[in-house]
Structures are given as structure tokens and as C-alpha cells.
A = this chain, B = another copy of it.
Amino acid sequence: MKKSEILIYDTTLRDGTQGEHINFSAEEKLRIARRLDEMGFHYIEGGWPGSNPKDARFFEMAKGLPFRHSRLAAFGSTRKPGVRPENCRNLRTLLKAETPTIAIFGKSWDLHVTDILGISLEENLEIIRDSITFLKTREKEVIFDAEHFFDGYRLNPVYAIETLKAALGAGADRIVLCDTNGGALPHDLTEAVSKAATIVPPESLGIHTHNDCGLAVANSLAAVRAGVTMVQGTVNGYGERCGNADLTSVIGNLQLKMNRRCLPDASLRQLTNLSYYVSEVANVRPLPFRPFVGRSAFAHKGGVHVNAVAKNPQAYEHIRPEQVGNDQRVIVSDLAGKSNIAFKAREFGIDVGDNDAVNRKIVREIKRLEDQGFQFDAADGSLALLMKKITGVFKEPFTLQCFNVTNGKTGKDPSLCQATIKISVGDETELTAAEGNGPVNALDHALRKALTKFYPQISEMHLVDFKVRIVEGSEGTAARVKVLLDSRDEQEVWSTIGVSENIIEASWQALVDSIQYKLSKDNINKNA
């Protein structure tokens, strides 16, 4: 390890799955692990083989995989009280995972020892010692996770430090200080880490934080400043309760702001992709406002800011977004002037050239639609499409003949919903019918069914969010509604919009835009 390098220990596959709504199959875990390995993460904690069969299966499958950069770690607890290490099922299961590295957690807060485990403080030290000794004699790299170290240090510092000494004495290769409850503040944490660093050599010291105070990233950085050389966390900060330290922020800060190398620069430029990829596999919505990698992280809305950023990006951007593979975006709002449009066109890779007439036509069309309640700051996909159509780069890939949606309900039974649709592409027409859980879903199904024949790549995309809002200044169920759809494929997420007094009509517009945007990316059109 070079002096300024920080080891990144990813626990998305283990602690990350403690988060509500976060679940990975063994196969999905393998895909993520491969991705992390390619990017040069130093450690990948794959799971807790003793706690569930899925994790055991993951390690079984991982045995055949050549990891080029990462060391794979299996996670578990120290031995059970009253059981010899060689008879402890948990420790034996850990060995069966056949990973080069094993991470085991033990108690360093006296309250947990006496109140939860119900054993003596000395017995806990013995458990730590002989569990580690047992694994070391099996030639494993052993990482000791000092659970609740910071609560322990706050309330009984002498004992907390004793547990570190026990682990070190038994031969642990690395010791990780865990803020298990996520309650530590940076200044208290700094003091505790500094003390620990007088016992454990900094090159063997790590940090593991949780975000219960909104401070997981700050605490990780504070620990690095206090001497630790390994940071544990998860991609996107997934994890129990409020989550773990978000490695996308930790790495961004360490490498770009504190000059501590974590990943190769080329991998750093993959950080935004990684964030999307993991949220895609986890099937949860990517947070737009996530630091460094979110879709809004370099998005500018206020007119003052937009002008300034055009003059000098540094004026309102703390780093260059390309460094983490993200993009600057200008959010087009009703202040949309020509300079914003030119800026957006460049962003979308559309050539409006010096053609002032085309530029003016785009501005006029946006203003007309915004008067009706369209809001393009929230719908980049629809905006790109509109520009591509006006500049003639893209033509309608299909024509709607007609659709009909019916929704019937009898007594207390749930509603039944069906849609029929007739479209034409070139000289061919297609009539399909489909059911759905609701009118928009039925329409979505019928439209895809009709189009997939002509444009099979539609199957790569799916809808991830559906928002409905009343357009300002209208009332009741006759109000004009605005439908926003977020769609995604493997590369990106895009938003489209529809506005109408009729929610089905508005949804239809957003649905059509969403599909057309997907097709416009590859510029595929069979309707010409």
C-alpha cells in the first residue's frame, strides 16, 4: 500500500442487504462483485454464510471466479460462548466459504457483553482471542470488526481498548472500528480513533460507520484524518435503518478533495455508472440528489446560476462532473432563454448550429407548452425529443390510429381493466389488446405489445416511477394534471411528461415520449 492510498472495503452485498427493500439473489451478488472487482475495490464482503443459505450459495459460486483486484471476504461472528472454536458452527461455516479473508465481529461495548450476551467481560476477551487464533492457524487474513466501538469507548474506554488489544494480540491482521448504532459525532469519533491508533498500527486500522445522524461520510473522512487506512461502506449507502457510509461520496471526497487514492482514475469516472448499476440490480429508484453521482448533482435551475456556470463552471460546481462520470445539466424552466436552449442542445448532442430560426422555433414551442402546464425541468427526455423533432433529427416512429380503455367494477370486486390499441408503422398496422392493473398499465402493455414487433429493443426499457400532479391554479377532478414518468434501461434514466385534463391522455403522452426517447437514442425509425 502506497502512503496515501486508502483501502476500500465494500459491504453492499452483506450490510447493504440489511436495508429495507434491499434484496439480492446470489446471482445478482455475483454480478455486482464482478463489477466491483473490475473497478479495483480492494475488498468485497460477500455475505454472512452462517446466517442464510443464499449467502452460502454465493460463496459456493464465487469459488470458480477469478477476482483480479479484490479480495473476497466472508463475514460472521466470533464463536458462541461456551463452545470451543473448532466446534463452533459459525466459524466452521466461515472456513467453508474458502475466501482469502474472513471478517468477524466481536463486542467492544461492555453493555452488550453483560446485558445482551450475558457473559463476563473477561470471557468476551477470551472469545475474541481464541476465535481469531483459530482462524489464523487456518492461514486466513483476519479482520476484526470491533462492534459498537464508539459507544463502548464513550462509556467504558478502558474496556473498549482492551478488546482491541485482545484482537491484536491474537494476530488479527486488521481491526475495524465500528459505529454500529450510527450515533457518533465527528469530533468524538476523531478522539476515539486517535486513541485506538496508539494501540493498533494505522496501516491495520479501519472504520465502519452508519448514517443515523446523517454523518456517516463525515465520520469516515474524520477517521481517515485521524489515521485509519481502510474505509468500509456500501454503494449508494444502502444499509440498515439510515444506511451505511455511501462509498460513492467517500471515494469522491477522499480521492478528489483529500488526495487519498482509492481507485484508479479510470474507475473513478465509472462511479456514476456504478451507482446506477447497483440501484438497477437492487431495483430501487436512484436518488437524484445523491452527492457526486446523482442526476441532479450538477443540475442548475436558477437563472443567476445558469449564466454564471456558462461563463465559468467552477462558479457553482465543486468538482468537474466528468471526474466521476457525471454530467452538468441545465434545468430548463419557464425562464428558458435562447442561451439555455443552446446549452441543452449541446448537452443532448443535438446540432442546432447557427440556425436562429430553428432556435426561435424551439423556444416558442417550449413556451407554448409551458403555458399549458408542461414543465421541462423535470422531463429532460421529452425536451430532448422535442428538440430532435423540430430540428428534423428524429421522426415519429409510429402513428396512433385509436385506442380504447375500459374499467369496470361490480359491487365490492376489484376493477377490471382492458385496453385495445391500433397503431401503424410505415404501411403495416397492428391491433392489440391487453389487460392491466389500471388504465395506464393496460395501455402500456397494449402499446408495447403492438410495438415490440417493430422495435424489439423496447423490451430493454422499463418504467420506474409515475408521478401525477395537479397543474397550478386548477381545481378538483376536472383540474389539469401533469404526469411524469421515469424510465430506464441499462445506460440511463430519462423523464417524460404529459399534460391534460384527462389523466389517461396525459399518461399516454408521457408513455409515448418515453418509448420514442428510447428509440431516438439509437435513431431507429421504421415509420418513414
Binding site for B on A (CB under 8 A): 18-21, 23, 25, 51, 77, 111-112, 115-116, 180-183, 185-187, 211-215, 217-218, 221-222, 225, 237, 240-243, 246, 249, 252-253, 257-258, 283, 285, 287-292, 294, 296-305, 307-308, 311-312, 314-319, 331, 377-378, 400-412, 414-415, 417, 436-441, 444, 462-470, 472-473, 475-479, 481, 485, 500-505, 507-508, 511
**A-B pairs with beta carbons under 8 Å apart, 16 shown:** A20-B301, A115-B311, A213-B291, A287-B287, A402-B408, A404-B408, A409-B505, A409-B508, A417-B502, A438-B503, A439-B504, A463-B476, A463-B477, A466-B470, A466-B477, A468-B503
**Inter-chain contacts of A20 with B (CB < 8 A):** 288-289, 296, 299, 301, 331, 377-378
Q: Is the CB of B211 within 8 A of A414?
A: no
The number of times this chain is found in the oligomer is: 2
Q: Is the CB of B502 within 8 A of A438?
A: yes
| Distance in Å: Cβ of A299 to nearest Cβ of chain B | 6
7 A-B pairs closest in CB distance: A183-B318, A218-B218, A438-B502, A468-B468, A437-B501, A463-B476, A214-B249
Q: Is the CB of B242 within 8 A of A477?
A: no
Majority SS at the chain A contact face? mixed
A107 to B111, CA, bound (A): 52
A46 to B311, CA, bound (A): 29
Other contacts beyond A241-B289, A403-B408, A440-B477: 15, CB < 8 A = A212-B291, A213-B292, A215-B253, A243-B289, A400-B411, A402-B410, A404-B408, A406-B406, A414-B505, A417-B502, A438-B501, A438-B504, A444-B476, A466-B477, A503-B503
Q: Give A401's nearest chain B residue, CB to CB.
A: B411
Q: Is the CB of A186 within 8 A of B221?
A: yes
Q: Is the CB of A241 within 8 A of B410?
A: no
| Distance in Å: Cβ of A307 to nearest Cβ of chain B | 8
Q: Which of B19, B467, B485 contacts A289 (CB 8 A)?
A: B19
